Structure 1
Amino acid sequence: MLDLVRVLRPRDRRRLVLLLLALAGAALFEVVGVASVVPFLTLVGDPSASGRIPYLGAIRETFGLTDDRGFLLATGFAALAAILATSVINAVLSFAQLLFTHLTGYGFARRLLAAYVDRERLFFARTNSAELAKNVLSETDRLVVGVLTPTMVIASRGASALAVIVFLILYQPRLALLLGGGFGGLYVVIFWVMRTRLARIGARAVADNERRYRIVQETFGALTELKLYGRAEAFSAGFDAPARAYARASAESLVTGQLPRFVIESVAFGGVIVVVLFALSQNYDTAGMLPLLGLFAFAGYRMLPAFQNVFNSLALIRFYLPAVTVIVDELKAERPPRPRGRERLPFAKSIHIEGLGFDYEPGRTTLDAIDLTIPANATVGLVGRTGSGKSTLVGLVLGILTPTRGTIRIDGVALDETTLPAWQNRIGYVPQDVFLIDGTVADNIAIGIAAGEVDQLAIERAARLAGIDAFILGLPDAYATGVGERGARLSGGQRQRIGIARALYHDPDVIVFDEATSALDAETETAVMAALGALAGTRTIIMIAHRLTSLRHADTVHVLEAGRLVASGPPETVLPALSKIREIEPA
């Protein structure tokens, strides 16, 4: 729990302190509410008690009440007002607690998402995306429901119960200690017995929750093939075991939290008998017994639910504590947000790559000793067998991977954390598989840009360059037409050209095509290449091509083999030799 407090932002820690102070104040009001019944019950048993009990007489004189019945009614209304005020204060604080815990949970989710977004592409190659989604969406919810909210409940109900206990001890120490020790001891013993089991159930629930997310994601991801082969039902049935296990673990944790209630309810009437026996042993008459019995009965009515809430919250925290570990560990890699400016790194001469090497992991070299110069405004092709390192080289030029060895210089300036954002502002990127959001055509071309900042003219210019403007204008709502989830309402070629328009939206100086035309038919590819041809000489174009014919207009073609640069030259020299090599075209 201390680790969780440490990863809170300073603003949230300040809010937490203020909330705890408010809870302390509410605990005092709880005492006032409980104590307010004593004068009323005393006068109910003996309306003339104000004449022999000093504090009642002082209250009566202060308010100038001379009539016994009037004084009784006044104390009754005062007790009722105190109880109602306590309830209102508790309701307001409950809302404040819930607002704090849910906003804090949202903050953790947002920070986790930002921390993942900030990671290199290599991180995603080693991590299951279902696990990341589970951490951002599910584990943060579990943290709110199972840790933050119960902690607030413990703080509020624990403070109230403690304040009432202190009052009862001051009012009647022996009886308060007898009842408090008995009931409190039961809760402590039950929790001590169950805590190890709760921790074990909680750890198992985290693993089962991750398996649920993974099965759902994989089922939807491979749905076409699974349905085609008649395996969808069998594959999705893998959801059953972890879902049942997660449901069982959740049920077990909840019933464990309720166990003391069943025990306490069965012995609660024994507490009433203890109060009566104590009063008789002190030789109280009926009038003297009523205030004592009423006070402890009302205090028990207020405290037993508090004890139960505290125990239930402790059980929840024990069960959900693994979620804290997940989030705290993930946030260790959190870095302060780095605002992205609009400045562009000067680029008028060349991209110079010297001694470049990259290892996905120790002993697994993907690129080694790459020396390469790409002149500004040149069109360059990259070809090679599958696994030769083409996409890795592009990833290094884009800055989404960090070189293990060597340097990349832009007009003599080395790429590093300082210069990389300004370099990336010059780049447009078109992947092999373009991801479209469930929005409009315009939303997808200007993805990630706030609605009020979208440049419609830039969208239309990019669409024209990508050769898709005529198609878009023929849609029912033109650029405001929805494309469906992952672009389900478009063909593969149309999705790809929207991806090209997206890359061209911010008018980049460098455009990288990572097998971006591989999904296009020959006619569409010809149209796209013709549009790109109009950019030749005005932009630096780097292409990994699926078809070697796509590179016939390149200025230079570079050939990679087993992570090394093995040939470079104009297309008319390099391409004829490549076409004779088996499996040279990337998959």
Structure 2
Amino acid sequence: MLKSLKKIWVIFEASTKRRAFLLLVLMLFGSVAEAGSIGLIFPLIEVVLQPEAAKENPFTKYLVETIGIDQNDHAVAMMFFLAFGLFLIKNVYLLYMENFKGQFIWDTLSGLWIRLYRYYLDADYPFHVKRNSSTLVNHVTVTLRNMFYGFVMPLLNMCTELFVLLAVGVMLIIVDPLITLSAVAVLTSTTVIYYLAFRRRLGHWGEEQLIHHERMLLWLNQGLGGIKEIKVLGREAYAGDSFAESARINAMYSQHQLLVSQMPRYLIETVVIGGLLLGIYLIFLTSDSISDPLPIFGLFGVAAFRLMPSASRITTYAGHIRFGGASLDAVYEDFLQLDPRNQPELAARQEQSAQFITFEKKIALRNVSFRYSGTNRDVLKDVSLQIPKGKAVALVGTSGAGKTTLADIILGLLVPDSGTLEIDGHPVGTVTRPWQRHIGCIPQEVFLMDNTLRANIAFGVPPQEINETHLQIAVSQAQLTEAIAQMPEGLNTMVGERGIRLSGGQRQRVGIARALYANADLLVMDEATSALDSETEHAITKAIENLHGSKTIIIIAHRLSTVRHCDRIYFMQDGRIVDEGTFEELHDKNKAFCEMVRKMDVSVKDREKV
């Protein structure tokens, strides 16, 4: 429990901690009000049974003398009005406290949603390479909520009930220490036995429920994301069964937790009612007059019916906290790793990100090597090259040669383990944001929002800030004008999820238009035409050729027909650049490249014929 509390303390920001402390103070006063309202039962019953007691009880005597009441019936009426007034004030206060608690919970939860999502967005690229996106989505949308409902809220509610138990318990000890301490001993023993019996199981169930909920989300993403392949291959049953298995296991552990969470209510109720019945029986056997112990018995009866739910809730909340601890553990590491407060170097990098870097001459990589975390093989080995501004170059080679990794380093997504990326002679280092402002990336699968063409081309720009002139120029340069003219809504046409309503060639052109709208100096195309037919590929290639000279272009490709026009081609093998030259030069001097050309049946004659 203490470890979990420390984790919550680490996750909460300073303002949240202050509000949490204020809430605890409010709950403490609320518990005092609860105890006071219950404690009023004893003198009330005593005055009703024996009106003359109003002048003997120290509390009622003080009230009677202060107000100036002489008649006993007036004293009884005064006690009824006082009891009603105090209960009314107490309930209004508790309602205010619950409202404050609700605001604290939802403000804090929404703040954590926003913070964790921003942390994931700000995390470096290797973090996302190692993590499954379904897990991250689950943490933001589900795990945080489970943490709050399964740990934070039960913890707050348990504090409320403990304060009430403590305040009422102190009041009952003053009235009758023996009965109170006996009742506390019995209830404490019952609660401890229950908690010890299910503590480990609840922790295990919480971990398993979290794992299988993540798997459910994973199969939802994979099943619906790959619906075309699933339909064509007839794999609906496979995807459905995989989801169903995790759903059933998730439901089983949730059902176990639900059953165990209901047990304290019946357990505590049985113990309390049994104790009350035993008390009544003993009073009946030992007392000459039933009216003498009746006020005390009435007080303990009212207290029991108020505290019985509290005792059962505390036990239930303890189970919830144990079950919800798995959700807390799951997100704690991400908060600890990604919170800028724990990364002093990140604050410095963000400051430097506001700086501006010029790109007027060339891009240079000097002796760059790179190895992915957790592997023992260098993906890039001592790579050096230079790309003059305005030139078109290509990175070619077989799969696994390191082309995409090299492109990711140029994009600023990965930082070399050794060597440097330099722009106009200035090392980029670990602060890549200023350099990335010059870059546009067109991957094989262009990311498209389920939004309009306009919003996708001006990606990330608020609608009211979109520059129509720049937009039209980008559309024209990407050769999208004719396609858009045939759409009924033009640039306001909705493209569908992942651009499903557009053809492959249109999606790639949108990617090019997006880079051009951002006025990128460098265009990096990573297998951007590999999934297109020859005619569409040729059209996209011509669109890129038209940008030759005005933009610096880097093309990563398996299909050599797309790099035929490049000024320089770098041929890669096993993480190294083993040769370079024009298309014709490489064909003439490099056997491996010549073999690739032969297999792809690419002409080495005049470029314009390709």
* Fold agreement, TM-score > 0.5: yes
CA pair 306-456 structure 1, distance change in 2 beyond 3 A: farther
1:175 aligns with 2:179: yes
TM-fit CA distance, 1:451? 4.0
2:596 aligns with 581
Aligned residues: percent identity? 31
Aligned length: 584
Alignment of 1:28-427 (within 5 A): 28-276=32-280, 283=287, 285-336=289-340, 338=350, 343-360=355-372, 361-418=374-431, 420-427=432-439
Query: Would you say the 8 A contact 2:397–2:558 is kept in 1?
Result: no
Provide the rounded CA distance (Å) in 2 between the counterparts of 1:536 and 1:434.
21
- Is the contact made by 1:385 and 1:584 (CA closer than 8 Å) also made in structure 2? no
CA-to-aligned-CA distance 1:27-81 (integer Å, 9 cap, x gap): 1111222122233222221233213323212112222333433332232232123
- The change in CA–CA distance for 1:44 and 1:329 in structure 2 (over 3 A counts) is same
The superposition leaves residues 414-441 of structure 1 with CA deviations (integer Å, 9 ceiling, x where unpaired) of: 11123x1110111111111112111222
1:390 positional shift: 1.0
After TM superposition, the runs of 4+ consecutive aligned structure 1 residues lying more than 6 A away are 582-585
Distance 1:472 1:92 in 2: 57
Deviation at 1:581, TM superposition (A): 2.5
RMSD: 2.4
Distance (Å, rounded) in 1 between the aligned partners of 2:359 and 2:436: 12
**Equivalent residue in structure 2 for 1:460, among 443, 453, 472:** 472
* SS of 1:237 mapped into structure 2: helix
Deviations 1:324-369, CA, capped at 9 Å, x for gaps:
1111122221142737966531111111111111112442221111
Paired position in structure 2 for 1:17: 21
Offset of residue 273 of structure 1: 3.0
1:169 to partner: Cα distance: 0.8
* Bigger mean CA deviation after superposition, 519-528 or 67-76: 519-528
The residue aligned with 1:544 is 556
Question: After superposition, where does 1:556-575 map in structure 2 within 5 Å?
Answer: 556-574=568-586
Q: Assess if the C-alpha contact under 8 Å between 2:586 and 2:594 holds in 1.
A: no
Q: Give the superposition deviation at 1:518.
A: 2.6
Tell me whether 276-285 or 207-216 shows the greater mean CA deviation.
Answer: 276-285
Q: Is the 8 A contact 1:34 1:83 kept in 2?
A: no
CA distance in 2, matches of 1:482, 1:342: 34
Provide the rounded CA distance (Å) in 2 between the counterparts of 1:413 and 1:45: 93
| Stretch moving more, 132-141 or 303-312 | 132-141
Q: CA 1:356–1:341 in 2, change beyond 3 Å: closer, same or farther?
A: closer
Unaligned 5+ segments in structure 1 are none
Q: Structure 2 stretches of 5 or more lacking a match? A: 341-346, 601-610
Normalised TM-score (structure 2): 0.90
TM-score, normalised to structure 1, is 0.93
Q: How big is the shift at 1:166?
A: 1.0
Aligned to 2:455: 443
- Write the distance in 1 (CA, Å) between the matches of 2:21 and 2:273: 39
Residue 298 of structure 1: how far off its partner (Å): 1.5
Contact 1:382 1:557 in 2 (8 A): yes
Kindly provide the amino acid, as one letter, of the partner of residue 95 in structure 2. Answer: A
Pair 1:517–1:63, CA change in 2 (3 A): same
542-551 or 517-526, larger mean C-alpha shift: 517-526
Q: Secondary structure at the match of 1:332?
A: helix
Q: 1:417 to 1:405 in 2, by over 3 A?
A: closer
Q: CA 1:342/1:329 → structure 2, altered by over 3 Å: closer, same or farther?
A: closer
Is contact 2:284–2:290 with CA below 8 Å preserved after alignment? no
SS at match of 2:337: coil
